[in-house]
Amino acid sequence: MRLVIPIVQTGTPTLRTRAREVPVEEIVTPAMQQLVAQMIETMREAPGVGLAAPQIDVPLRVIVLEERQDALKNLTEDEAKARGRMAFDTRVFFNPVLTPIGDQKALFFEGCLSVSGFVALVERHLEVEVSGHDQNAEPVTWRVKGWPARILQHECDHIDGTLYIDRMKTRSFATTEHAQAHFAGKSIADVCSSLGI
């Protein structure tokens, strides 16, 4: 079985379509279990911290996310904290429903495996709660702040046909290389003022 699936790029119609719900009784079928395995392997291979089924051209409401501790090794503790980044185990949600908690927002750079080679500043809710079913068809709710909350909002957007470029601060849109060269090590406030945001 092929586990790593090509990730489709922006312009693919599936990325702009509302994905379909998966009936709960279908979650434990071999087809759905295979989909989850493919999504996790594809995310790891990319590498990425989240993936939605439409990104492998499957129009279903399924998302996976994880942040491995070893991916954070290149960040200092302060950098990780400033970005709200933290390691967390692999999570799988079928039919996730996202609810923002409170009014606090966070502005940070975001990229997407389906808009390859670019990043931009995106404002997200600082804290969210997501409910759905896991890969065993058990109901799950996860309330979380910071980095995982950003990933959840990004992935839940995907299943509604929304990309981060719909929400980005357009003046901050940059190639990954330029972002690294010109924004790395600067505070978000400094980046915003240098860009006239």
Shortest separation between residue 110's beta carbon and Zn ion, angstroms:
8
Which of helix, strand or coil describes residue 88? strand
- Total chain residues near Zn ion (CB under 5 A): 1
Contact 151, 50 (CB under 8 A): yes
- Adjacent-strand bridge partners of 48: none
Which residue in 66, 67, 110, 155 is the catalytic one? Answer: 155
CA distance 120 to 100: 22
Shortest separation between residue 158's beta carbon and Zn ion, angstroms:
6
One character per residue 4-43, x = contact with Zn ion (rule: CB under 5 A): ----------------------------------------
Shortest separation between residue 53's beta carbon and Zn ion, angstroms:
12
Burial of 30 per CB tally in 10 Å (0-12, 13-18, 19+): exposed
112 binds Zn ion (CB under 5 A): yes
Our answer to whether residue 129 is catalytic in this structure is no
CA distance 193 to 49: 29
Shortest separation between residue 157's beta carbon and Zn ion, angstroms:
8
Task: Single out the segment in contact with Zn ion by CB under 5 A; choices: 16-24, 34-42, 109-117, 128-136.
Answer: 109-117
Contact 67, 49 (CB under 8 A): yes
Task: Single out the segment in contact with Zn ion by CB under 5 A; choices: 14-22, 108-116, 123-131, 168-176.
Answer: 108-116
Of 36 and 64, which has the nearer Cβ to Zn ion?
64
Of 112 and 128, which has the nearer Cβ to Zn ion?
112
DSSP string, 41-75: HHHHHTT-SEEEGGGGT--BSEEEEEE-GGGGTTS
Positions marked active-site: 155
Interface contacts to Zn ion, rule CB under 5 A: 112
